[in-house]
Homo-oligomer: A and B are copies of this chain.
């Protein structure tokens, strides 16, 4: 059994969007490891985000103009929306770093960013395996995304604990970093949502 005819077109765009996500996550890690030129990097990630917005808009347009069954439509719509959310959230992280005039990254933010990059890379692989109908590999990648999400969640809780524990932190800095951590954690949750949609598609068609 094969998927609906127009599937390939959609997955070509998903492939590009998840490539964009990996690029944005790479930029985030570069920034975290070498905290210079924040504004310039924010601009680069903003361009990736704008480009991805157009890809998502393109998918939505195709979805609304193409005949697909209601169930397929839901999955494709969810996939496009959640991938777009991921990129928006990486942009939000870097944007807040710029807006809040953060001087140096906190340890857990570096760790979480690196795990988000790993997640983005695995997700990109999962999407191209789905395109090639290697369903068993898609499922393995989804399990890996879930494992990374759990790890990022633990880092997030450690980060919050340490942020509120240290006596030297002033409340304003706590507010700033709490928000940055929350965007990193949200991004990881949306990646898990993508994995759930990929698993649902595999269950229906494998």
Interface residues of A (CB under 8 A from B): 60-61, 64-65, 70-71, 73, 95-96, 99-101, 157, 160-161, 164-165, 170-172, 174-176, 178, 196, 200, 203-204
Contact = CB atoms under 8 A, between A and B. Distances in A.
Given A61-B203, A71-B70, A160-B99, A172 B172 contact: no
A172 B171 CA distance: 6
A176 B100 CA distance: 17
Contacts of A71: 70, 73
Contacts of A161: 99-101
9 contacts: A60-B196, A61-B203, A64-B200, A64-B203, A71-B73, A99-B161, A101-B161, A164-B176, A175-B175
A89 to B, nearest CB: 13
Given A100-B164, A203-B64, A204-B64, A174 B172 contact: yes
A129 B100 CA distance: 42
Nearest to A96: B160
